[in-house]
């Protein structure tokens, strides 16, 4: 009977020690952080993509006009 009680107490101690172990939790937190950053970047590209493409097109056109290379096929957008 006493041996069973000792075994039970040791099992409780081991269970508490395993519950305090947070090594896996930090990996999950980093994974969620990376996923959040990736989602933010994707949203920004989706929202600002047209504006950025227009800015590059305007810059390309201005450079082409300044160099006399009007109608340069490199300035066309897909």
First to last CA, the chain: 81
User: Measured between alpha carbons, how far is 13 from 77 in angstroms, rounded to an integer?
Assistant: 66
Is the pLDDT at 75 greater than 90? The verdict is no
77 vs 51, more confident: 51
Tell me: the pLDDT tens digits for 15-54?
766 666 666 678 888 999 999 999 999 999 899 988 888 8
Structural domain total, the chain: 1
74 belongs to a structural domain: no
On whether residue 39 sits in a domain, the answer given is yes
Cα Dmax for the chain? 98
Residue at 71 is within a domain: no
Range of the domain at 43: 21-49
Band of pLDDT at residue 77, cut at 50, 70 and 90: low
State the Cα–Cα distance between residues 61 and 26, nearest whole angstrom: 49
More confident of the two residues 61 and 70 = 61
Residue 28 lies in a domain: yes
Residue 34 resides in a domain? yes
| The pLDDT value given to residue 76 | 64
Q: Has residue 38 been placed in a domain?
A: yes
């Amino acid at each position: 009977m006493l041996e069973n009680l000792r075994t039970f107490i040791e099992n409780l101690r081991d269970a508490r020690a395993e519950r305090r172990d947070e090594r896996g939790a930090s990996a999950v937190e980093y994974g969620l952080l990376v996923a959040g950053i990736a989602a933010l970047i994707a949203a920004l590209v989706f929202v600002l993509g047209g504006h950025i493409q227009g800015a590059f097109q305007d810059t390309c056109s201005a450079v082409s006009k300044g160099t006399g290379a009007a109608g340069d096929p490199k300035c066309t957008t897909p």
